[in-house]
Amino acid sequence: MNLINIIRKYQKVIVAFSGGVDSSVLCQAAHLALGKAAIAITADSPLLQESERTDAVKVANIIGIKHIMLKSDDLSVPEITVNDKNRCYYCKKFRFNNMCLWAEINNFSYIIEGSNLDDKNDYRPGMRAITELSSMVKSPFLAAEINKQEIREIARKYGLPVWDKPSQACLASRLSYGLNLTDKRLSQVDKAENFLHKFINGQLRVRHHGNLARIEIMPQEFPKLMENNLRTKIYTEFKNLGFTFVTIDMAGYKMGSQNAAIIN
């Protein structure tokens, strides 16, 4: 059964929409399958990068799907802010519970979200929350056995501008486990990454280890960071943001690298 037919059987859906390639394809597919019976909701959270919020609004307008920014006060939940290895589980459960409540009040049958086959190969505690809410939260890419590369191909077929957008994760994923989530720390990494994007191509992350910032970029971009003028600019900017030490991860960018501290 293809993606459109799977979504069509849900009759009336909310798309959990981040503005990334996965949820953008879901939005487009849901709009094609159900028209006005599908809407997109973005969790308006301090864990969401400003650039992701902007992309979500832009892509929803391109698709033509109704888009709602639903306030999500994630930092009010102690189990989330303590930032242990189960943070993603508590965060997903909090957000999807809020969405389920909104759906029930507004007579929507299901919420659909963008987990795909590749997510089974990484440490994804948030998927447990989705499983627990499976009576109302559905994962069409898993049902259709679609992986990340296939999602990108569908996005390109649909003409979505995010088809080649680098994978993203919430700002909390930048903080080392055990380092409490605060507005200040989340803002530090968001501003630091926005600054680096002015000079560095490809995937990048700024990992927050308290007073130390660990920069992850693609290895081919390493020479840029060794240029004296840029090196000085980066150090000065990061120091102004509140970091005492700034280091480069010699292994380069790696998705979910913070998980290395908790996975043997």
Proportion of the chain above pLDDT 70, given as a percent: 95
Structure confidence at residue 260 (pLDDT):
60
Amino acid letter, 251: A
Chain segment 22-31, per-residue pLDDT in tens: 999 999 999 9
Which residue ranges form the domains of the chain, and what is each CATH number?
3-158 (3.40.50.620), 171-261 (3.30.70)
Query: Counting beta carbons within 10 angstroms of the beta carbon of residue 262, is it exposed (0 to 12), middle (13 to 18) or buried (19 or more)?
Result: exposed
pLDDT, mean of residues 153-177: 92
Q: How far is CA 197 from CA 167, 171, 193, 215, 239, in A?
A: 14, 15, 6, 12, 17
